[in-house]
Amino acid sequence: MKHLINPLVKETQISGIRQFATYVSKFDNVLSLTIGQPDYPTPPSVKESGKSAIDHNKTIYTPNAGLPELCKAACEFVADRYHLTYDPASEVIVTMGASEAIDISFRTILEEGCEVILPAPVYPGYEPIIRLCGATPVYVDTRETNFTLTKEALEAAITEKTRCVVLPYPSNPIGVTLSKETLDDIIDVLKDKDIFVVSDEIYSELVYGEEHQSIATHPVMHEKTIVINGLSKSHSMTGWRIGFAFAPSYLAQEMLKVHQYNVSCATSISQYAAVEALTNARDTPKEMKKSYEERRDFVYKRFLEMGLDVPKPTGAFYLFPSISKFGLSSFDFATKLVEEERVAVIPGSAFSSYGEGHIRISYAYSYDTLVEACDRLERFIKTL
C-alpha cells in the first residue's frame, strides 16, 4: 500500500535538527547545545494557572480562535511591546505553538505553482510545509550580506509566481535582527506588490540592545502580513504549545477555517496558563533576556579566542560560527565533536545548503554547561 501514500509526504524529510538530536542520544554524558529550548522552568504562577484550570474542570473545548480573555491579552501584549494593533475578536488565532501558526498560514495563502522567498540559512520548518502545499521555496543567499535579507536580493528573487516572503527575524540559526533601515528597504520593495509576508517573530522578546521591529506596524504592510508569535521561547513554555497568528480580519477568518479542521482549538489548560503568562507574568522574558545576553557575550568571546569566524547575535539564543577552514563538512565536524569530546551541536546543513560550513550552537543552557562545552570544543579544534 506504500504506493498510495501522498508523494509529497514521502519526499518530506525529518528536520535535520531532530535527526542529529536523535543521533546524539546514542551517546552517554553528552553536553548538548542542540535544541533551542530555554533552560528556565515555566514561571510558577503560570504553572499554578494550568493546575487551577484542571482542578476547576476547565478542560473542555474553547472557542476555535481561543479564549476571549487570552485573545485580548495577546493583542494587548503585542500592542504594548511592538506597537501592533489587532482586534482580539477577529484578528488573532491561538494555535498549537508557532509551528501550527506557520502551517495554517501557508495552507491558507499558498497553492500549487506559487513561490515563497526564504532568506537562507533558515529554520528548516518552513520548506516542508511550503512543498506540501504544492508551492516552491526560493532561497535567497544572505551569507555575503551579514545574513540579512537586502532590498537588492529580494528584488532579484521576486517573480510573477511569488506569493509570499518569509521574514524570520530574529533569526534561527544566526540570531540576526532587522534594522529599521533594512525593514524600510524591504517595505519599499513590497508595498505595491500583491505579495503576502509571513513574519515569524517567535524570538521577538529576545532582542539585545535595540527594540524589535515588526513589518506589520507599517499601514500598507499590515493588510498583507501574518505575524507569528508564541510563548515557547519568551516564557519557557515549549511543551505547553501556545502560539499566535495575528492577521487582518479578512485573512484571519480564512485561516481560522484551516485551524478549526486541524485542531479545533488549542489546549484549554494551556490557554488558561497563557493568560497568566501575558498578564501577571508578562515581564518574565526581561529576566531571562538579561541572562541570555550574558551567556551570549561569554560564548561569543570564547569563539573569537578560538579563532572562529562568527557573527555576534543581536537576538534569539544561537551562534552560527564558520567551521569551513577545518576542511570538514558540517555534519562530519559535528559527528566527530560528539564522538571525541561528547559535545553536541547542529550541523549548518540542517538550515539548507546555504548553512553548510557552519554549526549552530544554542546558548540557552546553564553557564557551567557552556564553560565546559567551550573547553571541550577548543580542545577538539586544536586536533584538526
Alpha carbon 345 to its chain centroid, in Å, reads 17
Final residue before a domain boundary, out of 225, 251, 278: 278
What are the pLDDT digits (tens) for 35-46?
899 999 999 999
Same-domain pairing of 179 and 212? yes
Same-domain pairing of 15 and 73? no
Question: Is residue 152 helix, strand or coil?
Answer: helix
pLDDT of residue 70: 98
Same-domain pairing of 103 and 121? yes
Same-domain pairing of 169 and 62? yes
Compute CA distances 47 → 188, 270, 275, 285, 349, whole Å: 44, 9, 11, 16, 37
CATH number at residue 317: 3.90.1150.10
Same-domain pairing of 184 and 316? no
pLDDT of residue 321: 98
pLDDT of residue 147: 97
Same-domain pairing of 264 and 308? no
Residue 23 in this model has a pLDDT that exceeds 90: no
Q: Where are the alpha helices (DSSP H) in 176-225?
A: 180-190, 219-222
pLDDT of residue 280: 97
Report the predicted TM-score, pTM, of the whole model to 2 decimal places. 0.96
Same-domain pairing of 74 and 137? yes
pLDDT of residue 17: 83
Same-domain pairing of 195 and 80? yes
pLDDT of residue 16: 80
Same-domain pairing of 169 and 250? yes
Residue 10 in this model has a pLDDT that exceeds 90: no
pLDDT of residue 266: 98
Residue 278 in this model has a pLDDT that exceeds 90: yes
Residue 24 in this model has a pLDDT that exceeds 90: no
Identify the weakest region by mean pLDDT among 14-23, 130-139, 232-241.
14-23
Residue 19 in this model has a pLDDT that exceeds 90: no
Contact of 87 with 75, CB cutoff 8 Å: yes
What are the pLDDT digits (tens) for 191-229?
999 999 999 999 999 999 889 999 999 999 999 999 999
Mean pLDDT calculated for residue range 62-83: 98
Final residue before a domain boundary, out of 245, 278, 311: 278
- Which amino acid type is present at position 45? S
Q: Where are the alpha helices (DSSP H) in the chain?
A: 7-10, 16-24, 44-55, 68-82, 97-109, 127-132, 151-157, 180-190, 219-222, 249-263, 268-278, 284-305, 330-341, 367-381
Mean pLDDT calculated for residue range 147-171: 98
Residue 96 in this model has a pLDDT that exceeds 90: yes
Mean pLDDT calculated for residue range 131-140: 98
> How many structural domains is the chain composed of?
2
Q: Residue 118 carries which DSSP code?
A: E
363, three cell numbers = 546558548
Same-domain pairing of 49 and 21? no
pLDDT of residue 293: 97
Final residue before a domain boundary, out of 259, 278, 297: 278
Of all residues in the chain, the percent with pLDDT exceeding 70 is 100
- Domain boundaries, position 325: 2-42+284-381
pLDDT of residue 210: 86
CATH number at residue 128: 3.40.640.10
Average confidence score pLDDT of the chain: 96
Residue 26 in this model has a pLDDT that exceeds 90: no
What are the pLDDT digits (tens) for 317-356?
999 999 999 999 999 999 999 999 999 999 999 999 999 9
Confidence of residue 15 (pLDDT cuts 50, 70, 90): confident
Residue 170 in this model has a pLDDT that exceeds 90: yes
Same-domain pairing of 180 and 78? yes
**Ramachandran area for residue 103 (φ above 0: left; ψ -120 to 50: alpha; else beta):** alpha
Question: Is residue 310 helix, strand or coil?
Answer: coil
257, three cell numbers = 477555517
Same-domain pairing of 236 and 362? no
